[in-house]
Chains A and B, each alone.
Chain A
């Protein structure tokens, strides 16, 4: 079809998608150059040219490293805690019935209201960011682990038992493989939560992380470097999300086949 009509490739959706993005950037460029006060917005050309300057600002590379470290630790802790609680609660029907409503209740609570408490208990350093990230990241992981354990067909458990599987073997060869797909979708949701939690805490108060620099650039009316920093962080978030999403697709393949 593409060969038959030489102009058909112009109608490809991905091309139009790039066109939309280019148009948005062009609009931003024009708006920033001619309409908006340069105190508040700078054009994308200048923002991308200034990325170098952002990285050369004293403390910014260290702040980015610190934020990445907080994200990594918070994510690892969320996965470990979420998996442990999820298995402890999910594997016994009675525990599930008793504690799941509490987990759902806590998950539904607007955790942002207790952010000042986290700062109070864990200080204004990285610890409070990590703790707040964990508080956002672990609940989706608990929920999906429980859902994954719950969906195992009882017949598989019964037959493995009948064939003399020990508790550990039951877990290793029946429960664990069946949990994998939902576990990875839980990790994806957990990553979204960790990003939200850590960034919220960073923006709230920060002495050395990126929150310090976003405040600094805002107060100095330096939109060029602020936009540059936000662009770097957004790219970081997209890459982290993409890694977890790829892992999810990769590890849940066996289930759909």
Chain B
């Protein structure tokens, strides 16, 4: 009887509790907005430091409606696509070649892991020196930064497939292609997809970051340009815009990752 009652009550309790924490979250965000609004209207915080949220919202709609973001967005997305294309193809190929022998894994994996631990953003001045202020330096930096997680996860994916599966497939007469297609790839794919998603995320950050630091165009450049000309409301609106773009891209990539994992 007691067990039965507890079972009946638990989901209900759970639901009220989740409702409670949802309302705390909503209240917290609302409080932030109200504080922001009061700070700009009542407490007279300089609009050069903090613009009125209503103005930011208006500028945000203006940006969306006028489509003035298209040029910068195109630059950033092109850089991102090229950087990711380079790092994904080279990372997967290099990772696959290394993963084919235990010896090569033991030689190269610590090297890549070590390089991954260095903050590669340090090399940005060097890349700017090599490739100039244009998109090339951003593509190169994004590709370099995202190469390492992709290569490392490809090595991990292909390198640690259970030997029993390989031996069994060979014993059943699998050709090289069949071994790759039906044993190695399905085993490695989830790890590789995770690596690709991580690579995509860091490439996006690296590209917006390097646009912020030194560039001629792109979303990061636009934010800096507005900051330097002290146009605070449009700048906040662009920050919201970039954060939204990043969220959309990351959600999309996570969905693709989940889909790819189910596909095999």
Contact = CB atoms under 8 A, between A and B. Distances in A.
B94 interface: no
A41 B126 CA distance: 9
A223 interface: yes
Given A116-B212, A230-B125, A110 B243 contact: yes
Interface string B236-248: 0001001100110
Interface in B105-119: 106-108, 110-111, 114, 117-119
A183 to B, nearest CB: 20
Contact of A226 (B25, B129, B209): B129
Contact of A11 (B103, B114, B247): B103
Interface in B73-124: 103, 106-108, 110-111, 114, 117-119, 121-124
B250 A200 contact: no
B208 interface: yes
A41 B125 CA distance: 12
A112 B212 contact: yes
Contacts of B250: 108
Interface string A184-198: 000000001001100
A237 B119 contact: yes
A16 B108 CA distance: 9
A158 B118 CA distance: 44
B205 interface: yes
B124 A203 contact: yes
Interface string A1-39: 000000000010100110011000000000000000000
B49 A120 contact: yes
A230 B129 contact: no
A227 B205 contact: no
A192 B122 contact: no
Given A94-B17, A110-B246, A226-B126, A116 B224 contact: yes
A233 interface: yes
A152 interface: no
A121 interface: yes
A105 to B, nearest CB: 9
Nearest to B226: A116
B47 interface: no
Interface string B122-143: 1111101110000000000000
Given A20-B108, A115-B212, A200 B121 contact: yes
A254 interface: no
Contacts of A192: 117, 119
B130 A238 contact: no
Contacts of B124: 203
B64 interface: no
A112 B208 contact: yes
B223 interface: yes
Given A116-B224, A218-B125, A102 B28 contact: yes
A215 interface: yes
Contacts of A230: 122-123, 125-126
- Report, as a range, how many residues of chain A touch the other chain: 35 or more
Nearest to B227: A116
Contacts of A97: 17-18, 21
B196 interface: no
A81 to B, nearest CB: 18
A113 interface: yes
Nearest to B110: A17
Contacts of A99: 24-25, 28
B130 A17 contact: no
Given A40-B130, A97-B18, A97-B21, A113 B125 contact: no
B190 interface: no
A214 interface: yes
Interface string B209-251: 1001100000010011001100000010001001100110010
Contacts of B106: 13
A234 B130 contact: no
A66 B239 CA distance: 30
A192 B117 CA distance: 8
A217 interface: yes
Contacts of B49: 120-121
The 5 closest A-B pairs by CB, nearest first: A116-B227, A13-B106, A98-B21, A98-B24, A97-B21
